[in-house]
Structure 1
Amino acid sequence: MPDLFQYTWIVWIVITVACVVMELITLHLLFLMVAAGSLIGGLGTRLLGADWWVQVLSAAVLSGLLVFLIRPLLWRVLVKGRDVHLTNVDALSGMGARATVAFVDGAGFAKLANGETWTARLDDAHESVTVPPGARLSVVAIDGATAVVAPAPHPITAPDSTKG
């Protein structure tokens, strides 16, 4: 009967490949650290002729060190300086809009500055405000498929210096 522990190198290769595949799916550097720990700690000690329990222990310790010490440093370097760009619904908050119809009971339709027409309702602080068609609005939030809007403040115009 063959000694099954002589094939532990195959196990370390499989664990490493599986972790690399998982890293490619998640892109959080976690599985990459575990893959490195398995490859260096597990397979490395196997090639040095260590027992199976030493291989497992060294792979676990090295993976833990990489996850808790190296990963945060790498993550900071990779994410540092990255501009935060709001997308989808998050980008709509604060956007200007125009009422397309008169609001009845605080509800109506608004055409946003990006060209989309949304079902809209006035926010709680402005529920009793009358909104005629064409009125300027500002998107406060998005609630499901409804834009929560508030009347936009009128732009401040600079005083005319030509008049005396």
Structure 2
Amino acid sequence: MPLTEMCLCYLVVRGPDGTISDVLLGRKKTGFGTGYIVGLGGRLEPGETARAATVREVMEESSVAVAESDLSEHATVVFRFPARPDWDCRLTVFVSDRWQREPQESDEIAPQWYSADALPLDLMWDDARYWFHRVLNGEQFDGDIVFNDDCRTVRQATLTPRHPTKG
């Protein structure tokens, strides 16, 4: 079974020193992951790039407009659910510190700003504790996350740093 292609975007506010001070997350109200605090994103539509899907999903879920050119790719993470292989997916993770409009609640997400120093990891998918801070710290990597049969806790997490290309 092929992996479902997904995208995720963390909208961030940077402090005067350039470090991330706040992150826009949201409580998932419907669908896959209901009840969890998540970043904005979702499934790619047929023929859609991860960047285009991210722009669309951010707008649909929060009424925030972000340009493809303002998305910085930080990771690609493959999630495997041995007990539910139909949940297996590949997630492209972006960060942006530029957007237009204030976040608004949608049918799917109740957005809220969180301090980067007080992230709600206990309310997020279990995998977030393995890699979320790395994204916020500016790291770039590829990951492979395998969930236990409960489909809630992580059995194995492998993160491989990307080496920046020169040019």
Quickly name the TM-score band, shorter chain normalised.
under 0.3
TM-score (norm 2): 0.20
- TM-score normalised to structure 1 length: 0.20
Q: Which has the larger radius of gyration?
A: 1
More helix per residue: 1
Bigger share in strand: 2
Q: RCO greater where, 1 or 2, for CA within 8 Å and sep 6 or more?
A: 2
